[in-house]
Amino acid sequence: MPNDPLYIYCRKQSLYEVAWSPIHPALFTTVDGSGRIDLWNLNQYTEVPTASTVVEGSPALNRVSWTNSGQQIAVGDDMGKIWIYDVGEQLALPRADD
């Protein structure tokens, strides 16, 4: 294993969980304490997320998981609430060049 990371992501808010897509080799999602969900595609932009949203009320999100199909994510907060989001085929499915 090399000593240098491939990428370093710096955020002002602490990240609480990261999860790789089960079907897309370059797609992962992060959640943070400000209620933000980010989708990152290593084959596209590496400085900014490919897509992001903030959950209403900005709860401290601390869990994220992909469905087996790789087209939805479930996120949870520190109060036990869960939200399900449809990622959409355009983002979820790898392209031929991914």
Strand extents, DSSP E, 1-98: 15-20, 27-32, 36-41, 51-54, 61-66, 72-77, 82-86
Q: Rounded to an integer, what distance in angstroms lies between the CA atom of residue 37 and that of residue 29? A: 7
| pLDDT tens digit sequence for 48-98 | 899 999 999 999 999 999 999 999 999 999 999 999 999 999 999 888 776
Pairing of strands 61-66, 36-41: unpaired
Is the pLDDT higher at 96 or at 32?
32
Distance, CA of 94 to CA of 54 (rounded, Å):
24
Q: How high is the mean pLDDT of the chain?
A: 91
Region 5-33: mean pLDDT is 89
Give residue 9's pLDDT band: very low, low, confident or very high (50, 70, 90).
confident
Average pLDDT (33-57) is 92
Q: Would the pLDDT of 3 be above 90?
A: no
